[in-house]
Structure 1
């Protein structure tokens, strides 16, 4: 119940990760041989539009951001790598953005096929409709048919196999980064096991679990797109003005260190070497830069390949 091997790390990599806590840890940890599951309440299901869509994205909701008009309710600020890899990793700093009822705000890493039918994702999110609060929570999502009949967040459907007893998917994450103050990161990675073909999810250095190779046959030869960045869902579809839901810290990427949100140590897995490498060709995209934007990627000794992103949503330039 662990990977047969891990992709080799870069010798120059410097970890900037501080430990993430979940409040339930104050009451102890799960015994050996068990895993933590967030309890689903009746009130959680009643908040869903329909029982069928509970804890599930709508069909084609995970389309590539370049789809533009196909996602009128979704806005992105992302970078993506378009070539065959065996996974990706990054460190995402954690914030608690303001989110309007019915909206959500996400920061995450995704590995997908080019047509975005098979989609594996991990990160943090604030989603009042799903969880009934405005807390920042660790999430995982998957689908193999663009969310038409398969896929869900966390453990609300069968498929993902959790083996770790430390981190609860759907559980809250803390501490939270402070504007112009202490910053806290979450290290995430998704990679293919070279022997079994399973796709493993790693959070804070913990091998959390895997998607069986039989579940994601479209990824047998690797992922075609690795994506990093933020997403906001505007439940009103811009009717009556843009949402005030924030992305990341709620500040534009240009505000920089300790103010804007950041992805650091961005890497992909070279399938030939089974090793993490710095991607050579990475493209950026933002739907509406006056609402949410991102800076260009930069390379530094302490942060590796990184970029800043985010925004406040509605503002004088984003009415």
Structure 2
């Protein structure tokens, strides 16, 4: 693990910085996996039928790569609505040598207008070309996706691709790739409890880093609990290092040329609402070439459509580099 990190057992709940860490819903039922096994969320016939096809089940659409490229071109005509994906993100702008990233992510249950839309909050570890077919990406966070899961609960998820979302990679354990090693964390399981406006705030901590010896990319959840890893052989550019990290929210607007979706990002409140109302990422950190964690001070922020979803970053001693983000989607400001 990165220097300064210690392995620790945790029940997933504890007061910290005015918020509370959370765990997973299936633990509340007293369920545990037998020794030597790992929990797997079972896919049903109904899960597959909600997808466009068996081939597309568990994959991001090919339009997603275009969305990622377009959001970096301020003069692109489709940057706001043409590709259907909208973001509010922070991203690194430093030297380009990154070996991992960490953040603590506020958990909510945003409402989703259409079954083929989603709302997520995640971190991306990236390398390769955004405009080509060789983008490598490792992703993890929480997501509400009725199409993928059949409900509107926020769920822990992972994703990977080595060819700009064209043929490789998938969500969670729906294809070979991510190797789970933990018997207590279920990828794709609901996270509970969730934050409420003016009430308790719940969050999860996710760390992704590159093993300097074997080169695999590991993920931990909560208080440094190892979940599993992406083998280095899956990738091309990420076999060496990452060149960019992003943190933030994303929604799908399935009718970009009609009225805007009412699918919420984060809590459904704009960034200006602050703690207890707006969703947040706190203690953004990166893993450097010395395998050490340091605060991600050199970042920029981006939101394509600030009338619908926005982001505001800041820094203090307690939360380090952090930001509030989100929005309601369709509203008087976002017709």
Specify the TM-score bucket, using the shorter chain as the normaliser.
over 0.9
Residue 172 of structure 1: aligned partner = 190
The answer on whether the counterparts of 1:7 and 1:269 sit within 8 Å (CA) in structure 2 is: no
Residue 91 of structure 1: aligned partner = 104
Residue 145 of structure 2: aligned partner = 127
38-47 or 62-71, which deviates more = 62-71
Within the alignment, does 1:103 sit opposite 2:108 as a pair? no
Give the TM-score normalised by the residue count of structure 1: 0.93
- The Cα of 1:170 is off from its aligned counterpart by 0.7
Q: Say how many residue pairs are matched.
A: 309
Residue 77 of structure 1: aligned partner = 88
Residue 314 of structure 1: aligned partner = 330
- Structure 2 Cα separation of the partners of residues 142 and 123 of structure 1: 12
- The Cα of 1:59 is off from its aligned counterpart by 1.9
- CA distance change for structure 1 residues 91 and 226 in 2, over 3 Å: closer, same or farther? same
- The Cα of 1:167 is off from its aligned counterpart by 1.1
Q: Tell me, what secondary structure is at the counterpart of 1:129?
A: helix
- CA distance change for structure 1 residues 314 and 190 in 2, over 3 Å: closer, same or farther? same
Unpaired segments ≥5 residues, structure 2: 7-14
The answer on whether the counterparts of 1:8 and 1:274 sit within 8 Å (CA) in structure 2 is: no
Taking the TM superposition and a 5 Å limit, the aligned residue runs for 1:193-232 are 193-204=211-222, 205-232=224-251
Residue of structure 1 aligned with 2:72, choices 54, 63, 66 = 66
Taking the TM superposition and a 5 Å limit, the aligned residue runs for 1:175-186 are 175-186=193-204
4+ long deviations beyond 3 Å? 14-19
Within the alignment, does 1:290 sit opposite 2:310 as a pair? no
- Structure 1 Cα separation of the partners of residues 330 and 125 of structure 2: 30
Residue 22 of structure 2: aligned partner = 20
- The Cα of 1:217 is off from its aligned counterpart by 3.1
Residue 33 of structure 1: aligned partner = 36
Unpaired segments ≥5 residues, structure 1: none
Residue of structure 2 aligned with 1:266, choices 284, 289, 305 = 284
239-248 or 112-121, which deviates more = 112-121
- Structure 2 Cα separation of the partners of residues 202 and 131 of structure 1: 22
The answer on whether the counterparts of 1:105 and 1:231 sit within 8 Å (CA) in structure 2 is: yes
- Structure 1 Cα separation of the partners of residues 286 and 23 of structure 2: 26
171-180 or 52-61, which deviates more = 52-61
- Structure 1 Cα separation of the partners of residues 208 and 314 of structure 2: 22
- The Cα of 1:8 is off from its aligned counterpart by 2.8
Give a deviation string over 1:207-249, Cα, whole Å, max 9, x none: 100001111231122101100000001112x232000000000
The answer on whether the counterparts of 1:73 and 1:235 sit within 8 Å (CA) in structure 2 is: yes
Residue 8 of structure 1: aligned partner = 4
The answer on whether the counterparts of 2:63 and 2:83 sit within 8 Å (CA) in structure 1 is: no
Superposition CA RMSD, Å = 1.8
The answer on whether the counterparts of 1:111 and 1:227 sit within 8 Å (CA) in structure 2 is: yes
- The Cα of 1:7 is off from its aligned counterpart by 3.5
- Structure 2 Cα separation of the partners of residues 28 and 38 of structure 1: 13
